Amino acid sequence: MTWSLILPGWFNRTSCADELMQQFQQSGELQSLERLIQQCGDDLYHFLLRQADAQLAADISQQCWLKVLENRHSYRAQSRFKTWLFTIARNALLDELRRQQRWQGSQWQDSFAADDASVTEQLAGMQQKQRLAAALVALPPLQREAILLQLEDFSLEEIAHITAELPETIKSRLRYGRERLAQLMGDDNV
């Protein structure tokens, strides 16, 4: 399976987002912010898209970048920039879902990128993505969130920070989430 198509940000990492944020924080130059958006924007959008519809994901993503712009001085380099960004995103998403009174029943849509593979390979890949997407949707929202954050390469401590939960709580969510995914996918290797 081509995981890079399912989890685009997971395989396209770069390590200079923290440096770019520090530059933006000190200088206020929009060029640094633009580079941050180029570097982290897709990851942020895809994280939100897996928990909300496309319109809401786009709206929350824009709100996050505005908050980064407005609150650049509140960023502290003790944590990664992406951790701070995803914390802002999660809080904004929760606020909006609560406002819409749909946290427990939130649904998301997944868009599948086309590649240069044959039509047969594309269809097989799409079916696998759809199975994974359906399995992720079937997870309880908090387990799904923890797994999606881990797939975005956040550490246990970073996920705990983003979600404002204890690391042990996150460990449990990840363990139960992976077990449930394995059941739903019919695979013991998830």
d(CA 59, CA 48): 10
Q: What angle do CA 144, 85, 126 make, to 5 degrees?
A: 40
The pLDDT tens digits of the residues spanning 5-18 come to 455 444 444 448 88
Query: Does the pLDDT at position 76 exceed 60?
Result: yes
Other C-beta atoms within 10 Å of 123: how many?
A: 11
**pLDDT of res. 7:** 52
Other C-beta atoms within 10 Å of 34: how many?
A: 14
20-48: average pLDDT = 91
Q: How confident is the model at residue 126 (pLDDT cuts 50, 70, 90)?
A: low
**pLDDT of res. 6:** 52
d(CA 56, CA 65): 14
Q: How confident is the model at residue 25 (pLDDT cuts 50, 70, 90)?
A: confident
* 83 CB-side CA count, 13 A: 20
d(CA 58, CA 38): 15
User: Beta strands of the chain (E only): which ranges?
Assistant: none
d(CA 176, CA 170): 10
CB 64 within 8 A of CB 92: yes
Query: Does the pLDDT at position 144 exceed 50?
Result: yes
The pLDDT tens digits of the residues spanning 86-108 come to 999 999 998 888 888 754 443 43
